[in-house]
Structure formats: structure tokens, C-alpha cells
Structure 1
Amino acid sequence: MENKAVSRCGWVNQDPLYIDYHDNEWGVPVYDDRLLFELINLEGAQAGLSWYTILKKRENYRKAFDHFNAEKIAAFDDYKIEALLHNDGIVRNRLKINAVVTNAKAFLKVVEEFGSFADYIWSFVGGKPIQNHFKDLSEVPATTEISDHLSKDLKKRGFKFVGSTICYAFMQAAGLVNDHIETCFCYQKSSKKTMS
């Protein structure tokens, strides 16, 4: 099949789900508030796990968390949280589940202050993606000064599961940085596409 002829980043496995995510989503600039909120929470859910594990559960997360509608999630009560703890389609970790609810409330405050979550998030990179030029996966950092700054600011605003490593993974996923390696066929196209 054509997959073998195409050069991709080395972290992608052979699952069509993962290939599709790499080829069509990862590193593509996201300006949609709902999708940004989804991504930052899914990156938090990944803590201690692999992104592949979370990606396979993504549709379950969308159903469980009302498609990441922050207004609805902010209103989740103890009964709803208990039900989520019995949902085997997601990572059943009380701290991580509670974090999504906490993050929804913090997210709504950010939207109120900045007009949109996208405006707030993109301000950390001056409104446009950082184009990195890595030739090998070993060159790609786990954190940067910007992810440190973003993490600190999100924590100050009440967000949970937003350490610098999680924030950098979020920045990569949401296209704030283009970390496709130069030999990857997505390297050039990531700077041209946007998701909304």
C-alpha cells in the first residue's frame, strides 16, 4: 500500500486511526475553541499513558463529556462524575475526570476575559505557528520556554493537568508549533492548513 512509500514522523504506528491523525490533524493550526478545549483535556488524560491509548478512546471521551461543551461540563455534579468513573470507555481516574470539570470552569473565564480561548492560546506564539526545522525525532523537545510559560499561566487560571510537557504536546497537536520532521510529507503542508 501507499503508506510504505510515504515518509512520516517516526512516532506513528501502522494503525489507520493513528496514521489519519498524524496525516490530517497533528500539527495543523486549530482556532476552534471547542476543539482546543478537547485537545488540552485529552493531552491531560494522556499523562502517564500513551497518546495512542487516548486516541483510541477519543470518541468515547466526546460522548462522555458532551463533545467537550464547556458550559455543560462546568455544570457536572457529583452524580455525573461518579457515572464517569464507571465508564470503561475513558480513563477512569478521579483526578483526571475532575480536572476536565475544573478546566471547563477555567476555560469559560478565559473566554470571558479574552473573547475566545483561541485568542488567549495563540497569544503565546504571537498569533502564528512556530515553524521548527527538526531532521530527527531526537531533536524534538519535550518542553520549551513557551510551554513553561503557558503551563504557569494556565495553572494560575485554575487549570489542572497542564504541566509543561502536557502543554508542549498540546502545542504540537494544535499546530502552535510545526514539529513534523523535515522528511515527513506533512512538514510543508502543516504550515498551510488550519482546523476550525
Structure 2
Amino acid sequence: MPRDSPAPPTAGAARRILVAGTSGAGKTTLCGRVSAALGLPYTELDGLHHGPGWVPRPEFEDDVRAVAAQDAWVSEWQYAAVRPLLLARAELLVWLDLPVPVVLWQVARRTVRRSLRRTELWNGNVEPPLRTIFSDRDHILRWAWRTRHTLRGLDGRVACEAPHVRVVRLRSRREVERWVHGLRG
């Protein structure tokens, strides 16, 4: 963002907020920061989706329906099956539209760190060994590369599908920081 450009729009009075972005863009981190700044409950969709052994939980869609029905929440906008449920109730969608090299660096750094530390993610799951990038078509690093452009035109799609939802598009880490700082002001 050029130095003289205006600050991105704020969250305003939104109480149901989605954060969109490709894998590794920082959705979970931003959700946590928005939740803390605004005092809204945060539900991480990956935690609802992944059961032990990375098997999708059968209750996932029902759990998301329950979250969406609440008066206030922050969550990621992911998983095609539940996006419409969340979008129908959302008031604000924050789109992390960061440059591809930034996102790929972030997802690579996060994946290596989690894999080496054997960090438990959801329901006992951990990142697979790094060598699986060569054998697993859906390894998170390959997935991030393959899906890096899937959100192109998101603001236009949301305007058509859910005109009641305001979209804040953040294109750099600097814009993200300015926007989060504005939540506290």
C-alpha cells in the first residue's frame, strides 16, 4: 500500500466475521487477533473438520451450522461445503489477498516448524514427514501452490452471492497491521 493511501475500512460494528485467504495466508492468526481485539468468540474450522487420522468428522457441517447460528463469531472462510452457511450469516469478510511469494514462504516456514517439532494440530494429528511432499499430491505445500489463485475475484463473487457482507481486502502485511491496529482504535 502506498504511504499516502487511506487506511483499509474497519470492522465497524460487525459481530460475525469471516477471514478468507489461501492456505498459509494467515487466516487462523488473523482470526485470533480479531477475536482478541473485538472480544468475539473464535472457532477454528480445521479443529471442527479434522478427526483423528485426518479423517473428516461426520458432525462437521452440524457443528458449523451451530457456530453460524450464534449472534457473534469469528472464523475462517474455508471448506466449500460450509462456506454458504457462514456467508449467509456473516457481516464482514476480511480477505487476505497477499502476494504469492509471501504466502508460500509463510506456509513453508509453518509446515517445516510443525513437522520438525511434531506439533499436535487437531485431534491428535501432526504434520506428515517433510519427505511426503514428493509422494502426497495433497501435501500442504503442494496444495498451497496448486490453489494459490482460487480466490481471484472473491470480492465480486461475494458481492453477488451475499450483498449484505462487506469485504475488506488486505494485500500486504502492512495493510493487515494497519487494519488490526484500527480495530483497537
TM-score by length of 2: 0.31
Higher strand share: 2
